[in-house]
Amino acid sequence: MIRHLYGEKSSSRILIQMVDDHDLSVMDSEVRLIREMAGEDFLLIAMKVESWNHDLTPWGAKAVFGSEDFGDGAEETLKAVLDELHSYDSRKKFYIGGYSLAGLFALWSVYRTDVFSGAACASPSVWYPGFSDFAENHEIHTGSVYLSLGDREEKTRNSVMATVGEKIRNTHALLCGRGVSCTLEWNPGNHFRDPDLRTAKAFAWVMRNDGKEFI
């Protein structure tokens, strides 16, 4: 997996983001925005996945847009992420985040490991079949989760993706009920608007709000 480093290598805060080519094209903007919003140094490790629909999803599902089905590659992807972090001092703080399916992967990851101090989930694909049941029936291992969605994302003719508004509200309520420091921010526009800004806001928030005790 190809990785791209941004920011200060000596920083005590390390951000992990799974990306594709489009994410990389706006990464300089995202990094600048995170720095402005968080007001502190960080190292961002952008790890490029080979197959967006396979590498970021925890179990198989039929295609809900286009013709490409989803896979079960998230376990292997998370293993690669954790292997990457083994080379860093364990006293550093690690955060995982991303946009769309990468946001879903970030949220799923903090149910699978306690390595991350926060999950920055910008417009996460919580419509993904089976994820709501997974979240309801598993313990989360972080104390800080940022959720966001565009205010037009649930206004779609796609019957599966149209559930994203209800499911992200339910996810927010679930996490708050379990003592997680969690916010849900609504952004203007559809799913494709301002991904760099939305992801930057997500990372900046968890960097500032990771101190609350969690269950």
**pTM higher than 0.85 for the full model?**
yes
DSSP, res 1 = -
- How confident is the model over 13-26, as a mean pLDDT? 97
Q: Determine, yes or no, domain membership for 154.
A: yes
Token readout for 201 is: 């806001």
- The helix/strand/coil state of 205 is helix
Q: Determine, yes or no, domain membership for 28.
A: yes
Q: What is the pLDDT of residue 109?
A: 98
Whether pLDDT at 215 is above 50: no
Q: Determine, yes or no, domain membership for 167.
A: yes
Whether pLDDT at 213 is above 80: no
DSSP, res 94 = E
pLDDT digit string (tens) for 136-170?
Answer: 999 999 999 999 999 999 999 999 999 999 999 99
Q: What is the pLDDT of residue 214?
A: 39
Q: Determine, yes or no, domain membership for 201.
A: yes
Range of the domain at 168: 2-208
Query: At 211, is the pLDDT very low, low, confident or very high (cuts 50, 70, 90)?
Result: low
Position with higher pLDDT, 211 vs 29: 29
Q: Determine, yes or no, domain membership for 173.
A: yes
Domain CATH code at residue 103? 3.40.50.1820
Q: Determine, yes or no, domain membership for 139.
A: yes
Which residue has tokens 């921010």?
185
Query: At 212, is the pLDDT very low, low, confident or very high (cuts 50, 70, 90)?
Result: very low
Q: Determine, yes or no, domain membership for 215.
A: no
Q: How confident is the prediction for the chain on average, in pLDDT?
A: 94
User: What order do you get walking across the sheet with 43-48 strand by strand?
Assistant: 2-7, 43-48, 13-19, 93-99, 116-122, 144-150, 181-187
Q: Determine, yes or no, domain membership for 213.
A: no
Identify whether the C-beta of residue 119 lies closer than 8 Å to the C-beta of residue 110: yes
Whether pLDDT at 67 is above 90: no
Number of domains in the chain: 1
